[in-house]
Structure 1
């Protein structure tokens, strides 16, 4: 009533036990903002418990924040240390609190982000492609990992593009298997022979050649030509 609400029932209206107000009038008022601006004290020394509870419900203690995020206390410390979350400290008890909105935003950015996939899930889904497939995606720089401070994710769209890109090329071992040409000969041809200029990627760190699938046809032609030369009594293949 102190903010202009008029009861339709209550002690001062029809001698009812409690005041009753119109719902549409109550919903039009920001009770949280009013409670934050007013220091209310009843005759019995009690404050506005309901309104205070609504305000403080947006600030969560560290233990509640851990439950909210489903993590351990030391993991919460890690998130704070890395700057993913920033707690506030009360003047009275000196305890740390977290804004519920900040926790929701953190979850929305990572764990609940439909554009991301856990690295562990991505690796599991690629097991059928071979043990080295995931390492190749990393080695070739085709995907970038995103950390939430506790675990890694990757972009789903980027992962699909990376898979397609990797499948469009062949490692030296794969090319050897599909063409029937030894790896040593493939390396020689990539430097001086028919595969020169066809290397798509050298990897990162330790050099590892990757070739387009069209290299299979070139090597098979080379193999046929080599066998024909030997059959005709020509010079042996180096």
Structure 2
């Protein structure tokens, strides 16, 4: 790690960065180089190091531009997209995409055992057709129930379980755009096309209670949030979302109110007043690690946890912090700017040679900030 630290660049703070861990997790296997190749490229100065925040190799921060130059997209498949990528984008099983290909709805080419789809073909397909999961996710409802309601409304799918053996329904996008989808979602009486018994057709009282109270099961809620049941359990334990308790409901299933789920989504994921943690760091022109050590650690800005360890910050507070950063500079940043040890500035402060604009003894914060203009225009010899 000391050898890597010696290669750290001090003049690439404006570049976009990526951690080694993010690279390994997010880059397609066709682009990914081995860890040995990456390390050799770093020592060969083909990839710049931005920061070495901890002793863990996976946390090393690299230049995104260098990574992309070193790991280019293979030209043989340029312009193509994989089945896995499409399935991930939509949030459905890969088998549904394979069956869509087999039905002839989407042309593809074989690359060994892989099937690749031209991006233009996928975009054309996406303009004409829509998977039920996309409609259900947008309207925060169960895909199976919604498919039943659409079919009951006279909207015919072009692909699905009872049409071409696909495991999900696909509709013409124009058919969906021409109906009042919110009205269809709220339907309580409909014929079940999948062979299930529609909730409203049951004689027992708890089904009516589910409809009247707009309840959904925990598994349906997890699907809408695109998280596992275990992660939903963490939200319940943290009190972010509460179970709906009623002795009339069957004990083998757990329910919550759709309104409570929508409230959770509005508080975090769709809250225009919040910005996601890594996006906040980019807004400040810093790595997440620097953002943490400079601003969060000293409570200059407060993070908000959504119960799933995803952090957000208040957008207005962040914008004020950016304005403060334009006027002030931390001791760490000043030492990097001037190429001198940070203890030099600490000594200047102790000797009253330079006056901080914020920090201990000035306001409630624990780290010092100096006047940026003063630091930038002075040579350090002039302070003595």
Q: TM-score of the superposition, structure 2-length normalised?
A: 0.39
Name the SS of the counterpart of 1:60 in structure 2: strand
Equivalent position to 2:258, from 95, 100, 114: 100
Does the CA contact (< 8 Å) of 1:194 and 1:218 recur in 2? no
- CA–CA distance in structure 2, aligned partners of residues 97 and 53 of structure 1: 11
- CA–CA distance in structure 2, aligned partners of residues 223 and 98 of structure 1: 66
Does the CA contact (< 8 Å) of 2:328 and 2:357 recur in 1? no
- CA–CA distance in structure 2, aligned partners of residues 124 and 48 of structure 1: 54
Q: Does structure 1 residue 164 correspond to structure 2 residue 323?
A: yes
- CA–CA distance in structure 1, aligned partners of residues 324 and 339 of structure 2: 23
Change (3 A) 1:139 1:212: farther
Change (3 A) 1:225 1:121: closer
CA shift at 1:187, angstroms?
A: 2.5
- CA–CA distance in structure 1, aligned partners of residues 202 and 331 of structure 2: 78
Give the match for residue 267 of structure 2.
Answer: 109
Does the CA contact (< 8 Å) of 1:118 and 1:154 recur in 2? yes
CA shift at 1:170, angstroms?
A: 1.9
- CA–CA distance in structure 2, aligned partners of residues 47 and 157 of structure 1: 52
- CA–CA distance in structure 2, aligned partners of residues 96 and 133 of structure 1: 40
The CA RMSD measured in Å over matched residues stands at 3.9
Does the CA contact (< 8 Å) of 1:172 and 1:211 recur in 2? yes
CA shift at 1:208, angstroms?
A: 4.5
Name the SS of the counterpart of 1:132 in structure 2: helix
Q: Does structure 1 residue 223 correspond to structure 2 residue 381?
A: yes
Name the SS of the counterpart of 1:108 in structure 2: helix
Equivalent position to 1:118, from 265, 270, 276: 276
Q: TM-score of the superposition, structure 1-length normalised?
A: 0.60
Q: Does structure 1 residue 141 correspond to structure 2 residue 272?
A: no
CA shift at 1:118, angstroms?
A: 1.3
- CA–CA distance in structure 2, aligned partners of residues 217 and 111 of structure 1: 39
Does the CA contact (< 8 Å) of 2:210 and 2:216 recur in 1? no
Kindly report which structure 2 residues correspond to 1:161-200, keeping only aligned pairs within 5 A, or say none: 161-176=320-335, 178=337, 183-195=342-354, 197-200=355-358
Aligned residues: 180
Q: Which consecutive aligned stretches of 4+ in structure 1 deviate over 6 angstroms post-superposition?
A: none
Does the CA contact (< 8 Å) of 1:61 and 1:98 recur in 2? yes
Deviation readout 1:21-67 (Å, 9 max, x if unpaired): xxxxxxxxxx99xxxxxxxxxxxx97499x94982571111111212
Where structure 1 has 5 or more consecutive residues not aligned to the other structure, the ranges are: 1-30, 33-44, 227-238
Give the match for residue 248 of structure 2.
Answer: 91
Deviation readout 1:73-109 (Å, 9 max, x if unpaired): 0111111111111112443521311111111111111
